[in-house]
Amino acid sequence: MLSDLLLLLLNPLRAAAEGLSQLARLEDTGSNMAGIGRLSSRTSVLLLCDMQEKFRPTIFQFTNVVSNAARLLQASRILSIPPILTEQYPKGLGPTVQELGAEGLKPHSKTRFSMLTDTVEKELASLGNPKQAILCGIEAQACIACTAYDLLERGMEVHVVADAVSSRSQTDRLFALSRLKQSGVFLTTTEGVLLQLVQDAKHPNFKEIQKLLTHSSPDTGLLAFFSSLESEKSVGTARRAVWRRSEGVERGREREKVKEKQTDR
């Protein structure tokens, strides 16, 4: 390793060539965006998870969550982002709800929690293995979480749309979002995704996306999640303050002991 570094330092032309080569690789794969989580329509896939009729009466904020997911699906069609739709045991849990607007999409039937079935894996491969996944649907602590973990293990960048994801229990939903964030998932919102995908009012599809933003996204009860994050931050700050005070007291005691020893001498 040391010899390689010396060669690079002694050979500026080689160093420049290596730098250009690395930059080209980053641009080709889109991995230059991976660190900060900037979405691109060229490298993304939209994953729509199990928004089915039988879940309607039991899922927290079901109507609003599906409404947000429907806007994401509309945007994916405008921006040519491929969508993938799954259904959990449709024989027992029914078909995808009509208001999602998924007509024309062939759902992948599954029994496992993760969306990454063999047929979905094949579809991802046929799409050139997109680098970024925009994930929405239900349930947060089950199918969404398992899908996100599988995607992360594949090396994909995962964006979970928090206001387009839910569970039967708000507790499960909020803890699942917190757990996903710990695992390296980017948490975002429907409007955040739409604006990030166009990034400029001069984008050729901006007007069409703007129409989807005419009305603000409905509240889906996420304020509690961010309040809990602030509480954790406050507790952490308080703990650090107590630690600093106790450390200062301890140092003061040590100084007093040193002075006493010097006085005794």
- pLDDT, tens digit (0-9, with 9 covering 90-100), for 202-227: 999 999 999 999 888 777 888 866 66
Using the predicted structure, report yes or no on whether residue 9 has a pLDDT greater than 50.
no
Mean pLDDT of all residues in 44-56: 98
Alpha carbon separation from 128 to 21, 91, 124, 187 (Å, rounded): 22, 31, 7, 24
* CA dist., res. 261 & res. 30, Å (int): 65
Structural fold of domain 30-219: Rossmann fold (3.40.50)
Domain ranges of the chain: 30-219, 222-265
Q: Which pLDDT score, from 0 to 100, does residue 28 have?
A: 45
Q: Which residues are identified as catalytic?
A: 50, 110, 143
> For position 136, what pLDDT does the model report?
99
pLDDT digits (tens, 9 = 90+) for 125-183: 999 999 999 999 999 999 999 999 999 999 999 999 999 999 999 999 999 999 999 99
